[in-house]
Structure 1
């Protein structure tokens, strides 16, 4: 019986590895803030879309455990140095909350499988949980189980596929992994080849600089590792969302929408933090958002309003929604839009140069490359929540959009071309309605688009120059409940 149990457990745990297919590989590092918890819950509902290979506790400028010896520490980041001064530890939520949430995931996992057989097993995900560098902000001196996992994945020559490293907190555990690779290999005659291979394999998506290890170590010693640096766009999914999200989208973050999503969709969503929900994260004395009396007194937020998921863009960037943004960070998608840094062709950043025109304000907006997708993203989140409790036939699933002519086309300046679009929807009774629009900021200007039935007429400007690229987004939304949207991006290059 014991041998049979071990075999059964091994099969369950190996399912995650078997399900990899052509999905992007990713490792998550997290400092455990309440918005990391909410991000993690949403991410679990999307783990059929990418292959998770590590879930690692790490520290940040906002959260660290301390060494247990009373050692005093002062942040080297100006903002937290001013706020917190000298501390021995800071708002540390511990190293069990991921496992606790995976226990709740296990309860809804059988129902999620009804909607996608690619969801990883709870046991597989639990096998990925490691403790990284957590004692202090930016601590990267110690070799940890978390850093060793990242090192092993990067050094594994049997699998050359990219690994997308998400930094929801500091980059210190990632930095320690790279430092270990350097220390163990820098004196070898093939060090240059090893370094080049690792640099091509790793991609780092970081939400701001939450410690100094990228600036002081990674950027200096590994300048050819691709970095997607989100310092502006993520705010629309973070604490100040009311100042960032267009008024027309804010209803999807308010308690009237979020309350039913959280409270009516099973035990995993029940753990999601929202305003006035009565929950309190152990270890974080600043988590008072659940105090209904306080938020009522402040009058800004209402019960079950969205608090923050500042790290969700990191995993949403992996979603294959048809926008083709993962390999092309300047294209833009659910994880934001980034442009190549002036001083490093391997680093992609947001900011003024990556701003999009916000039609609600009529101004260029640093957050709009993210906020433009929020309605579709929130409705998609609701659909995934329903997957936790409903059978396949009672839930909605996103359509798939196709453009007959393909997605990489050529045209002359002034030319008119026609795109024939179609949609496939797994839900038999759904009807998909199309829109088509030019994404001017992602390319070299604005093409004119006109939708006629299932045809999109595209007019390339007569002023277009050879080599210019024009992006057209074909958007298909079904009439299911909730309505779900997917896309196809067509990039037209001028001959």
Structure 2
């Protein structure tokens, strides 16, 4: 209910809202994306979860690629040594390396087909299994960093980058960058000495956005960076570890139950259909074909590493598509805002590159320290609960599963404010399951440029208020998040973000 005290405050504050609209924000078109993958066990688990979110973005390509950890070889006995020193030392000269083959994506799409009829009862926009199969192509896989020859996979990427659709294409790099590099090299070879080269180079550079999890071959540094310096790159080198192999060392003990065997056994592995029963976990008895180093399924091996049965192994590449899921955090506007795909800042030496690393930290309330992984770790409860709900979508009718609340603002998302000014925050939410909703307004301090803390009154209500500190200088920003969670199990969370910019 609207209180008498908040009514005049609301009316007053609306005078300072720029471009205010009393309606929900318009929904943008789904982001287009191409996934390249080397097929490691964490890629497979990333792929399985991604299929449950495939209604949230427009997948236009699924491409097998290689990396420093996985390559097929050329079938001629050619010997190869990695360009990456630690990998060269580990494996030496090889004719192939831990290659999982080029049929595994189709195998999981077949399992997706078995749960697809139930998924579409819960949300619109899921691609048909037939459509997903049509997107699978084999890219450059013979060796780490191989980009000498055009492949069907590189041709597909080239075609999408050159098409007449001007919307961005998010190139997810789950393995090496080489197949994307080959596509760009093919474009350069075809157009560089023609009158249209300048326009083509600008068109491709404006469209392509690379989200890379580490450099898993040398092709970005050796080719893409020097030849395509205006392609936007989102580079995740630290934050992904909270969802990767080293998570027991990165994730605070208080959040580790969300990645533990008990949680996965209950919410993912059992009773959720053939797709999720195939999800790889510690001590699950499964064996990834072609990779002798995938020993995680052996319970004796799990005990050696102090892991329990069904503990999480890794989904190190999932942040690349978490970033594309619109949950209201607005991080696709600017990844420095932070969101489910992490938080990065613009490189000081390359304005087209955003990075995490040691200079990007969030305060971890569990360790009471600023941590490099916490910009990703902080979302683990929401991400895992969301995963559990989608697992239920594979098998349950709509009435027995949970669905996320819809959160809106009753004013503009960007607010012009003055030091000392008190403003109102006015949000609203509805729930498709008619569940009770819990509200929380909080300041995402690290995403803003104002260094201090602000006090939010009535932070547990849809309508709250905040007084802008008197020491807030012109141009600084304060990020205020409205977080709404439903009371069902697993609890689902969505958001809206208000950015307050201090004016004169």
Structure 1 runs of 4+ with >6 Å offset:
none
Q: Deviations over 1:80-102 (max 9, x none)?
A: 11111111110000000000000
What is the CA-CA distance between 1:299 and the residue it aligns to? 5.5
SS in 1 for 2:351: strand
Q: 1:32 aligns with which of 34, 39, 56?
A: 39
Matches for 1:52-63 after TM superposition, within 5 Å: 52-63=59-70
Matches for 1:204-283 after TM superposition, within 5 Å: 204-260=210-266, 261-283=268-290
1:397, 1:327 → 2: CA distance? Answer: 25
Contact residue 23 and residue 51 of structure 1 kept, 8 A? yes
1:231, 1:21 → 2: CA distance? Answer: 29
Q: Deviations over 1:273-298 (max 9, x none)?
A: 000000001110000000012223x2
Q: Which has the higher contact order (CA 8 A, sep 6+)?
A: 2
SS in 1 for 2:264: helix
Unaligned runs of 5+ in 1: 1-19
* Counterpart position of 1:122: 129
Matches for 1:128-139 after TM superposition, within 5 Å: 128-139=135-146
1:256, 1:51 → 2: CA distance? Answer: 33
Aligned positions, number: 473
Q: Deviations over 1:44-65 (max 9, x none)?
A: 0000100000000000000000
Query: Are residues 1:339 and 2:345 paired?
Result: yes
* Counterpart position of 1:17: none
Contact residue 337 and residue 350 of structure 1 kept, 8 A? yes
Q: Deviations over 1:320-339 (max 9, x none)?
A: 01000012110111110000
What is the CA-CA distance between 1:455 and the residue it aligns to? 1.5
1:117, 1:404 → 2: CA distance? Answer: 26
1:452, 1:476 → 2: CA distance? Answer: 10
1:427, 1:104 → 2: CA distance? Answer: 28
Contact residue 68 and residue 176 of structure 2 kept, 8 A? yes
Contact residue 447 and residue 472 of structure 1 kept, 8 A? no
* Counterpart position of 1:424: 430
Q: Deviations over 1:161-196 (max 9, x none)?
A: 110000000000000000000000001112111101
2:416, 2:153 → 1: CA distance? Answer: 46
What is the CA-CA distance between 1:431 and the residue it aligns to? 1.1
* Counterpart position of 2:51: 44
Q: 1:486 aligns with which of 487, 491, 494?
A: 494
Query: Are residues 1:384 and 2:390 paired?
Result: yes
Contact residue 69 and residue 87 of structure 2 kept, 8 A? yes
The TM-score normalised by the length of structure 2 is: 0.93
What is the CA-CA distance between 1:436 and the residue it aligns to? 1.2
Query: Are residues 1:156 and 2:163 paired?
Result: yes
1:21, 1:465 → 2: CA distance? Answer: 33
* Counterpart position of 2:102: 95
SS in 2 for 1:234: helix
* Counterpart position of 2:154: 147
What is the CA-CA distance between 1:459 and the residue it aligns to? 2.1
What is the CA-CA distance between 1:404 and the residue it aligns to? 1.1
Q: 2:440 aligns with which of 435, 447, 465?
A: 435
Matches for 1:314-333 after TM superposition, within 5 Å: 314-333=320-339
Unaligned runs of 5+ in 2: 1-26
Matches for 1:436-451 after TM superposition, within 5 Å: 436-445=441-450, 446-450=453-457, 451=459
1:231, 1:394 → 2: CA distance? Answer: 39
Contact residue 441 and residue 460 of structure 2 kept, 8 A? no
1:250, 1:362 → 2: CA distance? Answer: 17
Of 322-331 and 32-41, the range deviating more from structure 2: 322-331
Q: 2:119 aligns with which of 102, 108, 112?
A: 112
The TM-score normalised by the length of structure 1 is: 0.94
Of 47-56 and 357-366, the range deviating more from structure 2: 357-366
Q: Deviations over 1:430-461 (max 9, x none)?
A: 01101111111111123322215322212222
SS in 2 for 1:28: strand
2:422, 2:85 → 1: CA distance? Answer: 54
SS in 2 for 1:273: coil
* Counterpart position of 2:469: 461
SS in 1 for 2:466: strand
What is the CA-CA distance between 1:359 and the residue it aligns to? 1.1
1:405, 1:246 → 2: CA distance? Answer: 36
Contact residue 389 and residue 401 of structure 2 kept, 8 A? yes
1:84, 1:275 → 2: CA distance? Answer: 24
Q: 1:290 aligns with which of 291, 297, 304?
A: 297
2:151, 2:385 → 1: CA distance? Answer: 39
SS in 1 for 2:166: coil
Query: Are residues 1:72 and 2:79 paired?
Result: yes
Contact residue 474 and residue 488 of structure 1 kept, 8 A? yes
Contact residue 140 and residue 173 of structure 1 kept, 8 A? yes
